[in-house]
Structure 1
Amino acid sequence: MEELKVGVIGYGYIAKIHMAILKIFPNVKVTSVFSRTEKKVRGHRNISFYKDYDKMLEKEKLDIAMITTPTHTHQEISCACAEKGIDIFLEKPMARNVIECDKIIDSMKENNIKLFVGHSLRFWSTYANVKYYLENNNSEIGTIQSISSKRLSTFPWSKWFADQKKSGGVILDLSIHDIDYILWILGTPISVSCKASKINKYGMDLFGESITNLNYQNANAECEASWAQPEDYELLMKTKIIGSDGYIEFDEETIYNKEDLQMEDVYKSANAYYNQLEHFFDVIVNREKKFLLSPREAKEAVKVCLASIKSAENEGKVIFLEDF
């Protein structure tokens, strides 16, 4: 395998996590970083810094662009990378709205590049173990009747999240993790409803707590999300799946009745970000393979979140996906 040259566009919290893991892959090298604030990267040598990503795309001979910038910039930057023939790792959410998602997908197809959107729960060991256990048709919990998820956190690390027009608030940025996971298991719901409350950050009001209900023909799901926890609060992520004959309850580290269910491990590593990047590079090198998450699925997660936001803005009105 020839060395893959990666350009990182955006150098915030999640980019630093990804870059630490990129060092593990022997044939992958970060050659350049776009950042308007940083000037150097700890632990990486010979990296060029750019304050203009267009210049970076012009000067660097990149194989891959890792886009970790704020959500409202995703469409413009993704299309610019695609036009240069560069494969893309794009942090979730894909974009702010369905129109922007479609523009990214169209550009990907026109320029024949690979596009992956980083929904990390699909690579989280406990979440992946449960998904594949349910998929193998030997599930001892029977037919799924309900799924309930909680994801409670402090407010994110940067001011731009407070502008709901840029971030989409707690639903599009945080709750989308669990919404995508539920779509992975149950598919697109018939309808969505949501109750949400606002918080004020940096002088801006935005949805900071939400409970989204996803309604299916024979099942329902509930996703609770919060950015309103105290500063010293540790992230809580927890899911319970109830079936006709039993249940599965799990969090980021533990499946509480795993031994009783005789559940096998999908990944050798417990690090979801490593699993995600390993999968990404495998598909980039072996181009006939498919990503675990298609661009269409990433777009669908955005669409369901937007329906949830619309419901929250209309006092919990039921939004039918077919009409949305």
Structure 2
Amino acid sequence: MLDKGDLRVAVLGAGAIANEHFDAVQATEGLAACAVVDIDYAKANEVANFYEIKAYTDYRLMIQTEKPDVVAIALPHFLHKETAVFAAEHGCHLMLEKPMALSVLECDEIIEAGRKADIRILVGHTQHYMAENIHAKKIIQSGELGKLVMIHDIRHTNYFEDSRPQWFVEKAKSGGGILANLGTHSIDKIQWLTDSTVRQIKASISYYGSRGNVEGSGIIYLETVEGIPATIVQSGYLGASRNETEIIFTEGMLKLVTGESLWMSRGDSYKKLETVITAAPFELQYSDLLTAIRNHSETSCSPEYGRSVLAALEAVYRSAESGLEQVVY
């Protein structure tokens, strides 16, 4: 139910993640859902009926008709820039799924459109809002395990499974394979945990996927501007699934299983820590965006930050192609 003063939110894309957006909107006081857009009207209508909102197949018509205050973009990556710029030009604040766009140049176009329209943009790097990640960052900042020495992040999953939509494995539409989709989560996690950005990268990748023309694995060595080294190892081929980040200090270690658990070792075996969950990650994102809109301030996951993740990803691909270490710019 829309109350006077609520900001109206529309979501572009009626895929599985649309429900997470609308559930978070419903749970956030001060926001109300108004519309959903998808080129597949049946999908859009199903979501619209469930949330009692309007369904559209044309995002331009929806924005011009509904005039939403906030547009959430949950579309294939190649559509992010086009839709974000149009929405910004019509005065809509943006909740923009990651990766922000296909390239740094596209990020710059979105940033400029947002600046001209004086709107707030939050790039949906959910790593910032996961309870276990927040807990891990507090431990890093506390210094209780000594000096942070290095980070090792590992992610294995069957990336080419039949259930993954085809656009994910077409480079022109996705921007890349497992590293563009999941590797950006890892780059973001490392940057956010260390309050730093990546300054240099050396990477090697492989292309043995069962379909498409994107990479299926990669190993990355990087250093942040603060001099913290980290490795990212990801495989999208068959094998045991893993999603773990080891954070290594001078006086102990953390093992972060994002979305599941956080463990600590002070020289003995890992022991599970109790983590307090205050709200779902998507709810925290929308609360963040709403606060920025009301205060006319920057979101905690700004478009400039989203651009930094794409800059690092581009350095990954340059390094893999050249065989040389690359500076991030």
Specify the alignment match of 1:268 in structure 2.
278
- Give yes or no for the alignment of 1:41 onto 2:46: yes
Q: Deviations over 1:85-136 (max 9, x none)?
A: 000000000111111000000000000000010000110111111112222x
Answer whether contact 1:145 1:218 (CA < 8 A) is retained: no
The within-5 A match list for 1:164-313 is: 164-167=171-174, 168-186=176-194, 187-202=196-211, 204-216=212-224, 218-229=227-238, 236-252=242-258, 253-257=260-264, 267-269=277-279, 271-284=280-293, 286-313=294-321
Answer whether contact 2:139 2:145 (CA < 8 A) is retained: no
- Alpha-carbon distance, 1:289 to partner: 4.0
- Give yes or no for the alignment of 1:130 onto 2:140: no
Tell me the TM-score normalised to structure 1 length: 0.88
SS in 2 for 1:66: strand
Tell me the TM-score normalised to structure 2 length: 0.87
- Alpha-carbon distance, 1:28 to partner: 2.4
| Moved segments of 4+, more than 6 Å | 258-264
Answer whether contact 1:242 1:248 (CA < 8 A) is retained: yes
Instruction: Read off the aligned partner of 1:306 and give its amino acid letter.
Output: E
Specify the alignment match of 2:166 in structure 1.
159
- Alpha-carbon distance, 1:51 to partner: 1.5
- Alpha-carbon distance, 1:4 to partner: 1.6
Match of 2:74 among 68, 71, 80: 68
- Give yes or no for the alignment of 1:10 onto 2:13: yes
The within-5 A match list for 1:13-32 is: 13-32=16-35
Instruction: Read off the aligned partner of 1:268 and give its amino acid letter.
Output: T
- Please, what is the CA RMSD of the aligned residues? 2.5
1:48 & 1:157 partners in 2: Cα distance?
Answer: 27
SS in 2 for 1:55: helix
Tell me: CA distance 1:210–1:262, structure 2 relative to 1, closer, same or farther (3 Å): closer
Answer whether contact 1:133 1:263 (CA < 8 A) is retained: no
Instruction: Read off the aligned partner of 1:182 and give its amino acid letter.
Output: I
Instruction: Read off the aligned partner of 1:291 and give its amino acid letter.
Output: T
Q: Percent identity?
A: 25
SS in 2 for 1:206: coil
1:254 & 1:153 partners in 2: Cα distance?
Answer: 18
- Alpha-carbon distance, 1:81 to partner: 0.4
**Structure 1: tracts of 5 or more residues without a match:** none
Specify the alignment match of 1:114 in structure 2.
120
